[in-house]
Amino acid sequence: MKTILITGATSGIGEACARRFAHDKERLIITGRNVERLISIKTELEAMGAEVATLCFDVCDRNAARQALDSLPESFRAIDVLVNNAGLALGLEAEYEGDFTDWNTMIDTNIKGLLTMTRLVVPDMVARNHGHVINIGSVAGDAAYAGGAVYCATKAAVKTLTDGLRIDLSSTAVRVTNVKPGLVETNFSNTRFHGDTARAATVYRGIKPLTGADIADVVHYAASAPEHVQIAEVLVLATHQANGYTIFREN
Ligand code: 8X3
């Protein structure tokens, strides 16, 4: 049985990953900021046969992250897989017109939050010479698209941080993976547009997008590959999406 910590597990790709691993009856640590969602998802995952611990904290708060990890019961402490999923996009303004608060939240969550969790969890993996870090990057990290510069930059940073970690861990058996989704229909666009659901719906107009479960399958595959196989990077796109800005839509 593997112990798997998933950040941002209360919705979208993170929640789908938790469900995918629960099918295998793994030991799950699900984290997020919404305690009610954490508890209700824990109940569902336990009904599927998984062992579940919840940690309610914001990855942007380094002290809270440390305290949360320190509070884990003994049986959940040896983390085998860290899924750094917590992240978000805010706004779609031109770079010269963007919102300072949105920028800070994206940078603090997508880059610094991921780094915090990596810094707190990976030393124990190194000590045990066993473990796997799976970062949720994005096609957005491959190239900038209109209005997405800061979000794209954070995901480019995820790519660089993933590659750097893989280099720094190459003498160990700890594996490092970057899964880069394209269009996935979750709360992502709703969050990006600050709750404007009509605008969020236009993102998926005329194209069948990916689901959180599609990405969870890829994460699960990477985590389940034989120990000598390191899935370094996977770009996962909807069939009618070619890159971050080329999308064929049916009218
Ligand atoms: C999400 C993918 O293309 O909407 O990271 O930015 S995209």
Residue 236 vs residues 108, 113, 151, 244: alpha-carbon distances, Å: 25, 23, 18, 11
Other beta carbons less than 10 A from residue 127's beta carbon: 11
Range 187-204 burial, b when 16+ CB lie within 10 A, else e: bbbbebbeeeeeebeebb
Q: Cα of 100 to ligand 1 centre, how many Å?
A: 20
Return the structure tokens found at 36: 């009610």
Residue 88 vs residues 21, 139, 194, 231: alpha-carbon distances, Å: 22, 14, 11, 24
Coil, helix or strand for 56? strand
Which of 183, 185, 186 most suits a substitution to test ligand 1, by most atoms within 8 Å of the C-beta?
183
Q: What is the CA radius of gyration of the chain?
A: 17
Domain 3-236: which topology?
Rossmann fold (3.40.50)
| pLDDT the model gives residue 206 | 95
Q: What is the largest CA-CA distance in the chain?
A: 55
Q: Cα of 46 to ligand 1 centre, how many Å?
A: 31
| pLDDT the model gives residue 59 | 98
Beta carbons of 55 and 39 less than 8 angstroms apart: no
Read off the pTM.
0.97
Q: Cα of 94 to ligand 1 centre, how many Å?
A: 16
Mean pLDDT per 10-residue interval, the chain, length 251 residues: 97 98 97 97 97 98 98 98 98 98 98 98 98 98 97 98 98 98 95 95 94 98 98 98 95 81
Angle, helices 62-70/114-128, rounded to nearest 10 degrees:
40
221-233 pLDDT, tens digit each: 999 999 999 999 9
Q: Which positions are catalytic? A: 151
Beta carbons of 166 and 173 less than 8 angstroms apart: no
Please tell me if the CB atom of residue 182 comes closer than 6 angstroms to any atom of ligand 1: yes
| pLDDT the model gives residue 251 | 81
Other beta carbons less than 10 A from residue 123's beta carbon: 10
| Ligand 1 atom index nearest CA of 244 | 3
| Closest C-alpha among 105, 108, 12, 18 to residue 55 | 18
Please tell me if the CB atom of residue 13 comes closer than 6 angstroms to any atom of ligand 1: no
Q: Cα of 237 to ligand 1 centre, how many Å?
A: 10
Enumerate the domain spans of the chain: 3-236
* Separation CA 131–CA 171 (nearest Å): 13
Return the structure tokens found at 160: 């660089």
* Separation CA 244–CA 142 (nearest Å): 8
Nearest protein CA to atom 2 of ligand 1, as residue? 182
| pLDDT the model gives residue 133 | 99
**CA angle at 145 for the pair 139 and 149, rounded to the nearest 5°:** 95
| Ligand 1 atom index nearest CA of 140 | 6
